[in-house]
Structure 1
Amino acid sequence: MHYVKSKGILSAKNGMNLYRGCTHGCIYCDSRSRCYHIEHDFEDIEVKENAIELLETALKHKRKKCMIGTGSMTDPYIPLEMKVGNVRKALSLIYEHGFGFTVITKSNRILRDLDLLKAINSKTKCVVQMTMTTYDEDLCRKVEPNVCTTKERFETLKQLRDAGIPTVVWLCPILPFINDTPYNISGILDYCIEAKVYGVICFGMGLTLREGNREYFYKQLDRHFPHLKEKYMQKYGSQYVIDSPNSKELMRLFHEKCGKHGIVHDNGQIFSYLNTLEEKQSEIQLSLFD
């Protein structure tokens, strides 16, 4: 861990990264790509020491309330968060200033902040996005070794459901010759159905590989899946988008199962939902004068 001072905290689309780097160890992590210019060791977490002060200033000067997001580059619920507490401090500010919130995570540590998530959701809108890639627990521990398993994420989704927090699942990436099977996709979708998620985001059955994350991915293939790296190199070469040979079959299964059970499976519709603020308090107040 090391500290840096940052010049800003919110992006043009109101996203924020409280940390840079990650210790989850997911073998496919795109954030390792060199294009993101993380110059330090990826597991040496960069902490923005002035993040909370910057966020408070940004929220105070926003002309219009909106959804604030985090987790697109670094899962904010890494183990370090339990010590530093930047996410919880940020949630308190977001609630205090009447903004909405959405987060992408793989960790059940998010339940520590269930009280604040519920508070935000009662006032505006809070949506938890959970990444789920691998139904088989043993395989999940290889692919995503230092974070809770898919079954534990499923249990987290159910607790969020019971608390009235809407959820969205990211069904990606899907790794060719590893988890690109009907069994895997059906198992994850069965979890989504039981947890009553709002929607499932899926960009296709595959993954992306570019300089930085490709080398790490291949290293982990050698470690956990002997001889599979050679198969990837022969079939895909240096392609950026790596599609599963089973892509058409699996996408058909995905759309059919989501459609049958009323789960939103249009990415555009889901992103529109995630970006739309709902100010529930003002709606209640206005109704008093109707």
Structure 2
Amino acid sequence: MHYVDSKTILSPKNGMNLYRGCTHGCIYCDSRSKIYNMNHKFEDIEVKGNSLELLKKELIRRTPAMIGTGSMTDPYIPLEKRLKYIRKSLELIYRYGFGFTCITKSDLVLRDLDLLKKINEKTRVVIQMTLTTADDDLCGILEPNVCPTSRRVEVLKTLKEEGIPTIVWLCPILPYINDTEDNINSILDYCIYAGVKGIFCFEMGLTLREGNREYFYQKLDEHFPDLKERYVEEFGDDYSVPSPNNAKLMSIFKKRTAENGILNNFGDVFEFLTDFPQKSVQSKLI
């Protein structure tokens, strides 16, 4: 890890990244792409050393809304156990009347359950969890340095029981690896069991571009012999890598989520995710 000073910590839409880089080791991670201009080794976590000071200043200036994190780097990487930047951020978010949402694959989020419940009582919290495969052994290959799917599902269930709504990202679905009816049905079974509110699933497939493509292909060679050659032949350098089973799998996804009252339309899920109680805004302005 290494420290840097940042000029800002919140984006115009209240996105926050305290860390850059990740040690979860997910073989498909788009954040490795060169387009993001990460000028350090991906596993050498860049820590924004002045982020908490910046966050306090920006929260004071802004109108309360949902603060989001995790789109580029999982906020609950192992380093967070020691540094506690996310936990300290949650304390500020609670103090200044904002809401919170994050995308994670880690059960470390439960460490902060006390704060998440306090924020949710005052404003709003939504926790988002990525699920790619129902097979824990396969999960150990695709996402080697983070808790397995079965544990994530128990985290989702615990959050639901504590009154915190949850969203699942059902992606990426890798052609010829986890793009099976059994896998999608099993993940949906998990989501129904855990009582998730909605699921983000754009299409069945993944994206590859310079930076993450090379790493992904290296891991295919390690774990799925000869599959790289099939990818190269079928997809070349395409950014979009769709599953040949996309139509059938998306039909299953739409049908089962609708039957179980789970939001499945991007617009509906995003609206639920970003909705912020206006009474909290008014209370801060009074």
TM-score by length of 2: 0.97
Check conservation: 1:201, 1:266, Cα contact below 8 A.
Answer: yes
The residue number in structure 2 matching 1:53 is 53
User: For residue 202 of structure 1, what is the amino acid of its counterpart?
Assistant: C
- Tell me the distance in 1 between the aligned counterparts of 2:188 and 2:203: 15
* Shift in Å, 1:151: 0.4
- Tell me the distance in 2 between the aligned counterparts of 1:148 and 1:129: 15
Q: Do residues 40 (structure 1) and 36 (structure 2) align?
A: no
The residue number in structure 1 matching 2:135 is 136
Check conservation: 2:97, 2:280, Cα contact below 8 A.
Answer: no
The residue number in structure 1 matching 2:105 is 106
The residue number in structure 2 matching 1:183 is 182
The residue number in structure 1 matching 2:89 is 90
Check conservation: 2:64, 2:280, Cα contact below 8 A.
Answer: no
Which consecutive residues of structure 2, in runs of 5 or more, have no partner in the other structure? none
Q: Do residues 192 (structure 1) and 225 (structure 2) align?
A: no
Q: Do residues 22 (structure 1) and 22 (structure 2) align?
A: yes
- Tell me the distance in 1 between the aligned counterparts of 2:237 and 2:281: 52
Per-residue CA distance 1:22-79 (angstroms, 9 max, x = gap):
00000000000000001100000000000000000000011x2111000000001000
Structure 1 residues 2 and 258, CA, compared in 2 at 3 Å: closer, same or farther?
same
* Shift in Å, 1:279: 4.9
- Tell me the distance in 2 between the aligned counterparts of 1:39 and 1:9: 18
User: For residue 255 of structure 2, what is the amino acid of its counterpart?
Assistant: E
The range that moved more, 270-279 or 117-126, is 270-279
TM-score by length of 1: 0.96
Per-residue CA distance 1:247-290 (angstroms, 9 max, x = gap):
00000000000000000000111111111112566899xxxxxx
Structure 1 residues 215 and 48, CA, compared in 2 at 3 Å: closer, same or farther?
same
Per-residue CA distance 1:168-226 (angstroms, 9 max, x = gap):
00000000000000111011111110111110000100000000000000000000000
Per-residue CA distance 1:3-35 (angstroms, 9 max, x = gap):
000000001111010000000000000000000
- Tell me the distance in 2 between the aligned counterparts of 1:159 and 1:103: 16
SS of the counterpart of 2:199? Answer: strand
- Tell me the distance in 2 between the aligned counterparts of 1:109 and 1:280: 30
Structure 1 residues 279 and 82, CA, compared in 2 at 3 Å: closer, same or farther?
farther
Check conservation: 1:123, 1:279, Cα contact below 8 A.
Answer: no
- Tell me the distance in 2 between the aligned counterparts of 1:283 and 1:200: 31
User: For residue 19 of structure 1, what is the amino acid of its counterpart?
Assistant: Y
The residue number in structure 2 matching 1:287 is none
The residue number in structure 2 matching 1:277 is 276
User: For residue 14 of structure 2, what is the amino acid of its counterpart?
Assistant: N
SS of the counterpart of 1:102? Answer: strand
The residue number in structure 2 matching 1:288 is none
Quote the RMSD (CA, aligned, Å): 1.2
- Tell me the distance in 2 between the aligned counterparts of 1:259 and 1:29: 29
Per-residue CA distance 1:78-117 (angstroms, 9 max, x = gap):
0000101100000000000000110000000000000010
- Tell me the distance in 1 between the aligned counterparts of 2:90 and 2:97: 11
The residue number in structure 1 matching 2:216 is 217
Pairs aligned (count) = 283
- Displacement over 4 Å in runs of 4+: 279-284
Which consecutive residues of structure 1, in runs of 5 or more, have no partner in the other structure? 285-290
User: For residue 141 of structure 2, what is the amino acid of its counterpart?
Assistant: K
* Percent identity between the two aligned chains: 61
The residue number in structure 2 matching 1:260 is 259
- Tell me the distance in 2 between the aligned counterparts of 1:237 and 1:281: 50
- Tell me the distance in 2 between the aligned counterparts of 1:203 and 1:144: 20
SS of the counterpart of 1:147? Answer: coil
- Tell me the distance in 1 between the aligned counterparts of 2:175 and 2:97: 43
Check conservation: 1:4, 1:48, Cα contact below 8 A.
Answer: yes
Q: Do residues 230 (structure 1) and 233 (structure 2) align?
A: no
- Tell me the distance in 2 between the aligned counterparts of 1:279 and 1:194: 31
Per-residue CA distance 1:136-157 (angstroms, 9 max, x = gap):
1111100000000100000100
- Tell me the distance in 2 between the aligned counterparts of 1:168 and 1:100: 15
